[in-house]
């Protein structure tokens, strides 16, 4: 059960909860109730003790990062392949079908420059990465790419797995975007999680995980792979800049963990 106060000062929370409930209802039209892929099953939306309540069916799974810590190689490949297939099913389920448009590299570079430009230039690794991002933008922004509805925050922590079924969390269906953005977000969060002291098999099996995830998603052309690497680097630089702005502890984390990841991603950008 998820709650939101009914007071007027909490109207945003109530609106978001209702929206989440309707999203889950819509997803139940896409995913069979007893299939291996799905979303939390929304049972009811009601008022109780001055709160709105969304009731979902209990799913006894763990998020992919937690599950991966004790998984063997075969299970790692299976679960991340399933995550890729889950995302593909979500994109395929868009009622408008796939549209195509060019990647919005210009606005993204402007945002990065205006918001974190000075910060990125202070670190040698992110300075090099930002230079590579800008130099490759024109080529990446030329070919039309597939656009569908976007999850909005697709990462391993928002996917539950119980060894058989794989379930989406915190999905938004009110935005459209290039499919590579959801892919990039997921792969970046896997890399970040692999840096944790409790990462387990994630630390040494990133290539296996990435290959399984992309194989599960399927059918990525050369232009989309190029755009995926560019999007990964863009998001990683955003993460770095945001952490640097939060103060000393977050700055240490950004320099220690995120800057090296940005440097590695920059090497993959064409």
pLDDT tier at 49, thresholds 50, 70, 90 = confident
Flag whether pLDDT at 180 surpasses 70.
Answer: yes
Q: Looking at residues 117-130, what average pLDDT do you find?
A: 97
pLDDT tier at 211, thresholds 50, 70, 90 = very high
96 burial class (0-12, 13-18, 19+ CB within 10 angstroms)? exposed
- Cα 180 to Cα 185: distance, rounded to the nearest angstrom: 9
Helices (H) and strands (E) in the chain, counts: 10, 10
SS (H, E, C) 43-89: EEEEEECCEEEEEECCCCCEEHHHHHCCCCHHHHHHHHHHHHHHHHH
Q: What is the pLDDT of residue 8?
A: 67
Which two tokens mark 224?
């989309």
Of 13-17, 107-111, 199-203, the range with the highest mean pLDDT is: 107-111
For residue 149, which phi and psi values (nearest 5 degrees)?
-70, 150
Q: Looking at residues 147-166, what average pLDDT do you find?
A: 94
The structural domains of the chain, ordered by start, are: 2-56 (no CATH), 62-268 (3.90.1200.10)
Q: What is the pLDDT of residue 13?
A: 83
Residues whose CB is less than 8 angstroms from the CB of residue 189 and which lie 6 or more positions away in sequence, other chains included: 155, 156, 157
Flag whether pLDDT at 115 surpasses 70.
Answer: yes
Flag whether pLDDT at 9 surpasses 70.
Answer: no
Beta bridge partners of 48: 51
Flag whether pLDDT at 153 surpasses 70.
Answer: yes
HSE-CB at 205 with a 13 A cutoff on CA atoms is: 20
Residues whose CB is less than 8 angstroms from the CB of residue 194 and which lie 6 or more positions away in sequence, other chains included: 202, 203, 206
Q: Looking at residues 147-165, what average pLDDT do you find?
A: 93
Other beta carbons less than 10 A from residue 89's beta carbon: 18
pLDDT tier at 262, thresholds 50, 70, 90 = very high
- Cα 186 to Cα 252: distance, rounded to the nearest angstrom: 23
Q: Looking at residues 226-239, what average pLDDT do you find?
A: 98
Residues whose CB is less than 8 angstroms from the CB of residue 167 and which lie 6 or more positions away in sequence, other chains included: 37, 38, 39, 40, 59, 61, 159, 160, 161
The proportion of the chain whose per-residue pLDDT surpasses 90, expressed as a percent, equals: 78
Mean pLDDT is lowest, of 11-25, 44-58, 132-146, for 11-25
Residues whose CB is less than 8 angstroms from the CB of residue 156 and which lie 6 or more positions away in sequence, other chains included: 63, 64, 65, 68, 83, 186, 189, 190, 193
pLDDT (tens digit, 9 = 90+) per residue, 70-99? Answer: 999 999 999 999 999 999 999 999 998 999
Crossing angle of helices 259-268 and 222-244, in 10° steps, is 160
24 burial class (0-12, 13-18, 19+ CB within 10 angstroms)? buried
Q: What is the pLDDT of residue 191?
A: 95
The residue among 87, 146, 105, 144 whose CA lies nearest residue 234 is 105
Q: What is the pLDDT of residue 171?
A: 83
């Amino acid at each position: 059960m998820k709650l939101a106060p009914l007071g007027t000062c909490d109207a945003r929370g109530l609106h978001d909860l209702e929206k989440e409930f309707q999203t889950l209802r819509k997803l139940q039209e896409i995913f069979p109730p007893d299939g291996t892929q799905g979303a939390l099953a929304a049972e009811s939306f009601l008022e109780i003790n001055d709160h709105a309540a969304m009731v979902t069916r209990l799913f006894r799974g763990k998020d992919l990062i937690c599950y991966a810590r004790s998984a063997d190689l075969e299970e790692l490949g299976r679960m991340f392949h399933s995550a890729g297939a889950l995302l593909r099913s979500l994109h395929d389920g868009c009622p408008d079908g796939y549209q195509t448009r060019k990647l919005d590299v210009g606005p993204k570079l402007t945002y990065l420059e205006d918001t974190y430009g000075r910060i990125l230039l202070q670190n040698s690794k992110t300075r090099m990465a930002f230079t590579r991002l800008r130099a490759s933008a024109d080529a990446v922004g030329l070919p039309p790419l597939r656009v569908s509805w976007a999850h909005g925050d697709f990462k391993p922590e928002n996917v539950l797995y119980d060894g058989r079924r794989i379930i989406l969390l915190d999905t938004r269906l009110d935005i459209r975007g290039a499919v590579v953005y959801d892919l990039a977000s997921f792969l970046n969060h896997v890399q970040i999680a692999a840096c944790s002291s409790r990462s387990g098999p994630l630390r040494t099996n990133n290539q296996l995980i990435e290959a399984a995830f992309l194989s599960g998603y399927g059918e990525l052309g050369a232009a989309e792979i190029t755009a995926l690497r560019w999007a990964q680097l863009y998001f990683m630089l955003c993460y770095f800049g945001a952490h640097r702005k939060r103060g000393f502890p977050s700055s240490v984390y950004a320099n220690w963990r995120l800057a090296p990841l940005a440097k590695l991603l920059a090497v993959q950008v064409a």
